Structure 1
Amino acid sequence: MQIPWTNVIIILILGAIFIITSWFISRKVSSVDQYVSGRGKLGVAFGTTSLLAFWITGNTVMAGPEAAYNDGVLGAIGYAALGGIAVMAFAPLAKRIHEVLPNGRTVGDFFKHRFDHKNYYFFIAMSFIWVFGFLMTQGIGGGLLLEQIFEVPYELAVILTFAIVIVYASMGGFSSVTGLAFIQVMLILIVIVVVPPLVYFTTGVAPVYNGMKELDLGSLDLLAPAGLLFLFAAPVLGIGEVFMDNTFWQRAYAIRRDRVFSIFTLSGIGWCFVPLAVATLAFVALGTGQAPKEVNQVAPFIAQVYGGEFASWAFLIGVWAALASTIAALLNAIVSLVLNDVYLKMKPKATGKQQLAFAKIATITIGIVGLLVSLPKFTSMLQMLIFLGVMNAALIFPIVFGLFWKKLNINAAFYAAIFAIIGGYITYYTVGSLQGVVVSGWLSFLICWLGTLVAPSDFNWQKLIRVGLDEKESAK
């Protein structure tokens, strides 16, 4: 394939804007806390845009329409519920995090001091698997997007995306990620506000609806079993993702305590409209009989076919901004885990300057690893999320009970996660993928609850509060 150098240069220009902006932001980053967290400094505006910039991902605008293409109207609603309900459900957890672990850095801090060693190390291992898997879906999304619209070879597209993100994310870390969030959210809104209406001005709403009735009547069925299964399983999938994702814990720590509940709630509600808007592009594909080469590409494919060159450009800029923001946030989240839960265990007396240097090197290294694991092309980003969701769902109730229930038996929490993952994946491969997510979540709940009823503990919350305070004072 001949490389379209003009298109590559345009992406490089957009990337240069992010890099230059990040450079200005990074000049004020002088401490490791500024690089890996915000420590209660984000208000409503930056807190909301930071959450939206991260959570409006390549999956939102690529896998959301994929769900609608597969399951029709219920698929679109289900994907909106997947992320929106999950973020809103995290709001009371975020408030509780401020109460019991006000000076934490990562989700690892919670597992380290709330549970025992086996829970802590198991969670850290699962967390790394999840984040790298999610990072891979974003890299794949960037590659597919540039390949579909700009005809850039997939491998070159992945390299371009990661190279730009690695450069700007390594400069200022968390400060760069949140500082760029406002710009990126504005670019993302181009896709939501401009592209679907432009496509429907060309096709018409009535012809699309009539076409769906004629060509794929099942897509309009609100009682379709497959669609209902996705509608009810999707929130479990999303809650599992959000609750164990260090990126959300970082923002819980970074957002001001008096604003954290409202910001997560507002972000969850706002997020719902994004997949619903882009999912309507899948309805055009169903109603017109247009089939993309790969189901992942249905949204950019329809934008290109019916929206013309302007819609293609708008889709490219907005969605690539979403991918870049999410990859950057994930890199920063992984780095904070590695720094806090690996590096500081090996070098507990490392100075702030040494920690900051390590964090920057780790950002570059992990970014390169993320690039390499994203080079293989998968045809379904949604299926990858469901596969990881079995693991995510198993950790929902150890986290929830661990934050709110002092009687939680830590051994029950450990075995709940283990057996939920085993049972979930057995169901995944023998019954169905979504059923695997639901089974994993229910097993997690039942084992945690029953195990604690049999042998309740009596955890002292002051242990979490005191440890966080001691760590903050020792860092001064």
Structure 2
Amino acid sequence: MKKNDYQLYISGTIKLGVSFGVVSLLARWVTGNTILSSPETLVKYGLIGGIGYSLVGALTLILFGFLAKKIRKNYPGQHTIGDVLRQKLTPSGYWLMIIVLFLTSFYSLFVQAMGAGMLIHIIFPIPKFIGILLFLTFCFFIGGVGGMQRLHQVAGINVTLIFAAVIIIPVYFFIQEGVYPVYDGIRLYHPYLLYIKNTDAIWFIFTAIFVFFGQILIDRASWQRIFILQKEKVRITFTLTGLIWATIPLALSSLLMITIFGRSFENIYSLFFELVNKIQSTVLIVLFVVFCFSSIASALSAELHATTSIFVKNVMEMFCKLTNDEKWKYTYVFSGAICICLLVIVSILTPSPLTLLFFFGNIYAAMISPMLYIIFSKSVLPFIVPFSSFIGAIGGYVFLTVKEDFNAIWLSFAISAFLCLIVFIYKSITKKNIQVL
């Protein structure tokens, strides 16, 4: 394979083992949502919500590992989720799913860029626009231009920074402050964080399972890593990733509890600025800041790379046969256009990451049943299967106009699951009748 072969951009040059596979997946899944949603979850749902957030993320990665093993076995020779969808769906169903993939991909990219923008605004005394421009330029050269090989090169550095930050900084604080003063301060000023009979937190955790599982089922970057992992090590890699990932939101929650013990606060996201002030050690401040931006940049670059790969391989090549040079040209143009759009939108909008996650949760929940049907089926599926996700998501959003709560996500899942079940029963009966005749 030539060095400039476009396949190198999509998959890199090596098959990943367990250790580097875990590193690559952690670099993808320790995201802006992980960093920014941790304080919001802790404040809204207390310690139960913070612990539940970690466990749900771990559980969904572990469950997806079982599916990943089957995907790798049933679809050899594929490279992206788009390749599998093209094999299993009719043209109309395929294009509907591609639209959904791009919609959710742009949401993921927006959340990462928004997280970077919020941290730049909180930590650095520079214009937000300039900070985001520099950040997105870096991501463009890593994920948009560099491809999988470049992502592999920075993944190890990123994961090293992650664990250096989540281990060293909490230990430093607890040695300085002690465990019991922190506990007493939380109990005095924020007793609601310790309330263990919080039914809202339990409801949040069960709903998050649908959102997180649907999110990883259609995650473009995770599917690409399935096809570059060594076949026999796919499941164990996702399992270990889930177990390790769970420790990171817990560590971030502990950091924020150290920040707020013994005092009140006005804004959830100002806690990061107060945390920087509280650290005092210049080395640890630099470590924390670099950890935040490294994690977000790594996740955004991975998503940018996966989205660009799907655009070139599963959209442009459907219309015309592209030469190697044309593929690279479309890669630069498309990834650059995405970065420019993100720069403009993030400079204007700053919604809550957790609110956004559960707003898109209707789409993620509605995608679960169709994606499972696609993965386990052995034949080309009719348009109604992918279309059921659209109907389910619309049903959830209609419900949201009446009452804004997590029931909309459950309704989205139920509608799409019911439609997929009807299709499955109909196909089974039809097949049985044909066999009888």
TM-score (normalizing by structure 1)? 0.84
C-alpha change, 1:319 and 1:228, in structure 2 (3 Å) is same
In structure 2, what is the equivalent of residue 357 of structure 1?
A: 329
**Unaligned 5+ residue runs, structure 2?**
432-437
Do residues 111 (structure 1) and 67 (structure 2) align? no
Residues 153-302 of structure 1 mapped to structure 2, 5 A cutoff: 153-291=127-265, 293=267, 295-298=268-271, 300-302=272-274
In structure 1, what is the equivalent of residue 434 of structure 2?
A: none
Q: For residues 377-412 of structure 1, give each alpha carbon's deviation from its aligned partner in whole angstroms, at most 9, with x where no partner exists.
A: 424111111111211111111111211144896344
Do residues 57 (structure 1) and 57 (structure 2) align? no
Q: How many residues align?
A: 429
Match of 1:136 among 103, 107, 110: 110
In structure 1, what is the equivalent of residue 348 of structure 2?
A: 376
**Which of 352-361 and 174-183 deviates more?**
352-361
What residue identity is the alignment partner of 1:332? H
The percentage of counterpart residues that share the same residue type is 27
C-alpha change, 1:50 and 1:134, in structure 2 (3 Å) is same
Distance 2:427 2:148 in 1: 41
Distance 1:215 1:430 in 2: 36
Distance 2:387 2:233 in 1: 35
Match of 1:440 among 407, 412, 436: 412
In structure 2, what is the equivalent of residue 420 of structure 1?
A: 392
8 Å Cα contact 2:93/2:387 also seen in 1: no
What residue identity is the alignment partner of 2:413? G
**Which of 405-414 and 155-164 deviates more?**
405-414
In structure 1, what is the equivalent of residue 402 of structure 2?
A: 430
C-alpha change, 1:40 and 1:371, in structure 2 (3 Å) is same
C-alpha change, 1:34 and 1:272, in structure 2 (3 Å) is same
**Unaligned 5+ residue runs, structure 1?**
1-27, 460-476
Residues 364-403 of structure 1 mapped to structure 2, 5 A cutoff: 364-403=336-375
**Which of 350-359 and 156-165 deviates more?**
350-359
Q: For residues 139-170 of structure 1, give each alpha carbon's deviation from its aligned partner in whole angstroms, at most 9, with x where no partner exists.
A: 11111112222233322221111011112334
CA RMSD of aligned residues (A): 2.3
C-alpha change, 1:171 and 1:418, in structure 2 (3 Å) is closer
What residue identity is the alignment partner of 2:192? G
> Cα offset for 1:427?
3.1
Match of 1:90 among 33, 49, 64: 64
**Which of 267-276 and 418-427 deviates more?**
418-427
Task: Give secondary structure in 2 for the equivalent of 1:410.
Answer: coil
What residue identity is the alignment partner of 1:59? N
What residue identity is the alignment partner of 2:376? F
Task: Give secondary structure in 2 for the equivalent of 1:30.
Answer: coil
Distance 1:38 1:406 in 2: 29
Distance 2:222 2:411 in 1: 24
8 Å Cα contact 1:69/1:283 also seen in 2: no
What residue identity is the alignment partner of 1:419? I
Distance 1:129 1:415 in 2: 15
Distance 1:345 1:55 in 2: 30
TM-score (normalizing by structure 2)? 0.91
Task: Give secondary structure in 1 for the equivalent of 2:360.
Answer: helix
8 Å Cα contact 1:32/1:352 also seen in 2: yes
Match of 1:346 among 319, 340, 344: 319
Distance 1:438 1:170 in 2: 36
